Structure 1
Amino acid sequence: MRYKILIFLVSLLFANFFTGCKSGVNSPLNESINFPEAITVKGDKFLDDRGREVVFNGINIVSKNKEEGYIFRSGPELYKNLKKWGVNCIRFIMIWDRLEPEPGVYNEAYLKEIDQIIAWAKANNIFVVLDMHQDLFSVKYSDGAPEWATLDEGKSHTTGAVWSDAYMLSEAVQTAFDNFWANKPASDGIGLQDHYAALWKHVAQRYANNTAVVGYDIMNEPFPGSLGIKFMQTLLKAYGELQYELTGTVLSEEQLLANWEDESSRKKALEVLSSKENYDAVISRLNGLNEDFESRILQKMCQKVSDAIREVDTTHILFLEHSYFGNTGVKSAIERTILPDGQPDPLVAYAPHGYDLLTDTEAVASASNDRVGYIYGQIKKKGEQLKMPVWLGEWGAFYGNSESVIPVAKNAMSLIERNKFGNAYWSYDPGSENLEYFRQVLIRPYPVYTSGELLDYYNDFDAQTFTMTWRENGTDDEPTIVYVPHLSRLNKEILNSRDSIKINNIDGSDAGWLIIPTTGNKEKRMITLDFVK
């Protein structure tokens, strides 16, 4: 039902809005909010402790710098700003290298620093997902496992034009993964996976009663080790066959490899895969290999970690990622973990990543909308099959790019909204908030907590409008909360003669939350907000 639109008066904004905020009194423009204390999962939705559907709008907070102790160096002011920018969750990156510097020895100083991050986030109504991160498996090659857990058998480490090429090129990285998946023993005779699971148990025991922690992201972008060579060979063969079908040209293995040697040739090669049909013809050829790895190897590791965590924590959510190749739209075979009594664990979420093949290159602004649509479509299908909420734990990675990536960012965010994914943008860097794509796309209106069922929501970035539709169940009385980044640009407010919308300003900034009381009826509701350009 669409309600009557009233114009915000400038005098009201400046006389009441800022006066009410400074004085701290409750007024129509400074209504108080009782924020949730905890988040759980019910079916395919995240719910807060007041029964409302939650949209996670987040960002990754990360330091991969060993000299910094793998802690993003900022004070509480960052988390105050994140709140103003509409962030209600962070994916906080932890690094095994510092957590367990020696076999079985846990770093209390690092954990205390993480405690402080969580406390700062909680003070700003921001929830935290703890992620055990790795890139190229180990601190020896990038970040992740400590050296004592890196059993690379002295193999050589080779890099490529893009940092992630080393997954395919480095025998050392592949061997280290192989030995981890095989649970080969460390120097103390205990298997690497057993160490990993015990570490997760230690972390989970620490945060078992901390409701600001939503849950645990078991492993960042698991890579299949030397099996990755088969993935690459299959991918190149499929690409060559598509080229032959399209052009009649036969490309040798050397020519196919040359297409990926540098960023410029890679960009040109990917033009062939800019349509969903062509992309599917190539990327789907990896489905069988990925199913084999995820079902035979990755699932067992996730279950081992789940078993360890559930010994000490039965209330937090486990976030399951697909394999590294799932980031590009390869079909995932990951499944729900099982509780000790053999029942499916209800507190599990699907935590995929979604990246175009041009991510991490200078051509990121040329990412194909069709390819990204295909990747997000695969994620949507998998979430529906799992009957889990979907939390896109990484996407974007636009870094210092600004205006050039705005179309790509708008497309990705529109897909996130259309599919109702939770999300955590990769990643925050000092000054990100000054970049155009960050200000125009990432900081946007969205429904934070919805009373009833959220049916759909979307931002029309060009028209500068936000629309939301939901269905109230007639029994809940907790209000729906919508984040608005620019109250001074909001030129229309949705009101009802019986229960008008109120506003909570965020710490004297131009951002705030719309507080929409329930009607007490079972009914479908809709609001549309317009903003001055």
Structure 2
Amino acid sequence: MSHRNKDQGKSKTRNFRQTDMYSSSFKSIVIFTIVISFIGCRQNSSIDGYLSIDNGRFVDSKGRTVILNGINYVTKHPEQYFKNDNDDEIFRQFRNQGFNCVRFGMSWRGIEPEPGKINEAYLKEIDKRVKLAEENGIWLILDMHQDLYGGKYGNGAPDWATIDDGLPHDRGDVWSDAYLVSPAIHRVFDNFWKNTPAPDGIGIQDHYIFVWKTLAKRYANSPAVAGFDIMNEPFTGSESSAILEKLLGTYGEIVAEQTGEPVKLNDMLDMWGDEQSRTEALKTFDNKAHYRRITESAYEDLKSFEQGALSQFYQRVRDAIREVNKQHIIFLEHSYFSNLGVKSSFLVPTDKQGNPDPLIAYAPHGYDLVTDTDAADSPGYQRVEHIFEQIFEAGKEKQIPVVVGEWGAFYMGRDYRQPAEHLIGIFEQAQAGQTYWAYWDNIDTQDYFPTLSRHYPMRVNGQLLHYRNHFHENLFECEWQEEDESKIPTRIFIPDLEKVKEQIKLHPVSDITFHPLEGSPAGYMDIEVTGETRKLVIAY
């Protein structure tokens, strides 16, 4: 596979000098007068330093605030691992579509196929993707992915680490229902949290941590790696039964209050196990006050797991990683039920002195209850708002930055523009990063794709005050307070430079440089520093 630099050709840079034609009111800003000069240059998209964290925000090596805008790239089936010979082109597409980060899925099963034996061939394939990311100016979040724990039931853990004690595996109408109804899935997670010995006598959690330490050491000198997403959607195991009963029991209480008829828990369980009856019942759930009451009912039960087994696990992984790597971010996810809006409470890992590790980020997932069903294009917007209110509140309590690791999953070719625009609006308001679930062939032809490949502030000199895409008005706005002592420009991603070059309003004025991306209408806009509060509006 070729790893040539995709930006070796000549590209045009446009320097804009603006006449200051502004009044004191931003409403009176007019389109600037442009003086254009064309400068041939060698475009360089390569990573120029580690992603880091400062004062609760992601920052680049020059101290600029970074908004992570990305996508998941995950292959779950062992027979398809790294079989895509077109990844060099796919990573170039990611760059041209404005993705500055990719959540890249890995498999414990692929890395440690036998106890204690690391698959070097597998890691060399990851090396290639790290190199592709570096060449295209993309940070990789390395994600240890799992669904239903392992390859025996889904993907993730090797069979030797899947200790189900012979319990049966039950499936529901939706694939993820197995988390809730399968005795085997409950047991394998229970054994993981207990660190039950593998066939070699070493605890399976110890093996998992050994894999992460191996990866952390291998990529310690790789700035294209943003960091390590420790476990995809960690699940409670058998404790889930009590949590589910709390959620459905509270829902039953609300129904009884509305109808005057008592509702049995078994009836609630039967309802939830049938996709059609669940979809009908969700109409009641789309009330923020009701849904908050439902999710809050399970908070204490989930807290017991998150502040117990999950936090202990995260601390152990953090300690192992920091023995060999002190520069990469550790991305921590909340547990499965927090995807649905139960607020997360896991503890931020600390150093030996008890101080919170400064390179910890919160990487929550948020999905409405209709995800993976035939009603996926009709989410409950009040439910969705509650889910992300809980996520961002938890991020503030933990005092760590947030990147939404998964959301969306808009697969079925329907009209998803409204739910996608609604969610992106929530993320932009919170100034949170995001990696959409997930890349698939021809995703750029989908109606919602412009919400992903959109105008956004990639790197901001100073404090980002707010930004927002108004998709129906074809308008982007951004405001930030620059740092006087820094002369590093703010960089904005532009999906189509030709559409906007005559439609930019900036106050106060300064030089603007456009950097076209080879083979794409997209590019970057660098805004020189004035040391003031800046306001930008782009019509497109």
The two structures have a TM-score, normalised by structure 1, of 0.93
Q: Name the SS of the counterpart of 2:482 in structure 1.
A: strand
Query: Is residue 2:128 matched to residue 1:113?
Result: no
- The corresponding residue for 2:440 is 429
Query: Is residue 2:35 matched to residue 1:25?
Result: no
Verify the 8 A CA contact 2:51 2:60 in the aligned structure 1: yes
Q: CA deviation at 1:275?
A: 1.4
- The corresponding residue for 1:515 is 526
Between the aligned partners of 1:297 and 1:189, the Cα distance in structure 2 is: 21
Closer, same or farther in 2 for the Cα pair 1:40/1:243, shift >3 Å? same
Between the aligned partners of 2:32 and 2:445, the Cα distance in structure 1 is: 29
Identity %: 41
Once structures 1 and 2 are overlaid, which stretch shifts more, 427-436 or 251-260? 251-260
Query: Is residue 2:455 matched to residue 1:445?
Result: yes
Once structures 1 and 2 are overlaid, which stretch shifts more, 363-372 or 260-269? 260-269
- The corresponding residue for 2:230 is 218
Between the aligned partners of 1:340 and 1:184, the Cα distance in structure 2 is: 26
Verify the 8 A CA contact 1:36 1:50 in the aligned structure 2: no
Q: CA deviation at 1:253?
A: 2.9
Once structures 1 and 2 are overlaid, which stretch shifts more, 67-76 or 292-301? 67-76
Between the aligned partners of 1:397 and 1:61, the Cα distance in structure 2 is: 12
Q: CA RMSD in A?
A: 2.0
Verify the 8 A CA contact 2:108 2:156 in the aligned structure 1: yes
Query: Is residue 2:80 matched to residue 1:61?
Result: no
Between the aligned partners of 1:155 and 1:60, the Cα distance in structure 2 is: 33
Q: Name the SS of the counterpart of 1:413 in structure 2.
A: helix
**1:509 partner amino acid:** S
Verify the 8 A CA contact 1:70 1:98 in the aligned structure 2: no
Q: CA deviation at 1:495?
A: 5.3
Closer, same or farther in 2 for the Cα pair 1:32/1:256, shift >3 Å? closer
**Structure 1 residue aligned with 2:342, among 323, 330, 333?**
330
| Residue correspondences, number | 514
- The corresponding residue for 1:126 is 138
1:54-113 CA distance string (max 9 Å, x none): 000010001001111266653200011111110000011111001000000001001000
Query: Is residue 2:45 matched to residue 1:6?
Result: no
- Show the 5 A alignment for 1:300-315: 300-315=312-327
**1:334 partner amino acid:** F
**1:418 partner amino acid:** Q
Between the aligned partners of 2:469 and 2:408, the Cα distance in structure 1 is: 18
Verify the 8 A CA contact 1:31 1:503 in the aligned structure 2: no
**1:507 partner amino acid:** E
Between the aligned partners of 1:294 and 1:495, the Cα distance in structure 2 is: 46
Query: Is residue 2:465 matched to residue 1:455?
Result: yes
- The corresponding residue for 1:195 is 207
- Show the 5 A alignment for 1:125-274: 125-274=137-286
- The corresponding residue for 1:526 is 535
- The corresponding residue for 2:492 is 482
Closer, same or farther in 2 for the Cα pair 1:492/1:35, shift >3 Å? farther
Q: CA deviation at 1:401?
A: 2.7
Query: Is residue 2:413 matched to residue 1:398?
Result: no
Verify the 8 A CA contact 2:395 2:402 in the aligned structure 1: yes
**Structure 2 residue aligned with 1:354, among 366, 374, 384?**
366
Q: CA deviation at 1:8?
A: 9.3
- The corresponding residue for 1:388 is 400
1:165-184 CA distance string (max 9 Å, x none): 00011111110000000001
Verify the 8 A CA contact 1:8 1:493 in the aligned structure 2: no
Q: Name the SS of the counterpart of 1:226 in structure 2.
A: helix
The two structures have a TM-score, normalised by structure 2, of 0.92
**2:457 partner amino acid:** P
Between the aligned partners of 1:497 and 1:58, the Cα distance in structure 2 is: 30
Verify the 8 A CA contact 1:400 1:435 in the aligned structure 2: no
Between the aligned partners of 1:366 and 1:498, the Cα distance in structure 2 is: 43
- The corresponding residue for 2:21 is none
Closer, same or farther in 2 for the Cα pair 1:298/1:348, shift >3 Å? same
Between the aligned partners of 1:495 and 1:25, the Cα distance in structure 2 is: 25
**Structure 2 residue aligned with 1:506, among 517, 532, 538?**
517
Closer, same or farther in 2 for the Cα pair 1:528/1:496, shift >3 Å? closer
